[in-house]
Amino acid sequence: MTNNIITLPVNEAPLVQTDAIATLQASLGVESGRDVVERAVFEISDRLCKLELALHDDDMKTVGKIAAGLVCMSTQIGLLVFAEIASGLANEIGNQNHIAAAALAWRLLRVGESSLFCAVELADRSG
């Protein structure tokens, strides 16, 4: 039996699609676009807190629902890596792969913080 071990970096760089934020600001105006990004960041942050609580309670059904909701919301403000991880988490929970789901959930929480800060910073700089 061959062991295939994949090492993931602890500090992954967030990837924010700047075009998504620029499009929001172009269509809504700079201030309104910034407000939309900030509200989305707040909502995503709130859901990440709920996801972490569900993880501690071992409530994987709730974790899956939260992760699925995060995909659409994060994509709209250009958080591509974050959305990809959230999608993978939702899929692994659907596949009943709880070990992979737990690893992805903690990865999502790590990447989430830096991604949210990056999105707000980009929205602020655009204006």
Query: What tokens does 34 get?
Result: 């910034």
Using CA atoms, how far apart are residues 116 and 45, in angstroms rounded to an integer?
A: 8
Buried b (16+ CB within 10 A) or exposed e, 103-126: ebbebbebbbebbbebbbebbeeb
Helix axes 98-126, 60-76, angle to 10 degrees: 30
Distances (CA, A) of 91 to 71, 99, 107, 122: 11, 12, 15, 30
pLDDT tens string, the chain, 127 residues long: the values are: 556 766 655 566 667 888 998 999 999 999 999 999 999 999 999 999 999 999 999 999 999 999 999 999 999 999 999 999 999 999 999 999 999 999 999 999 999 988 999 999 988 886 5
pTM equals 0.84
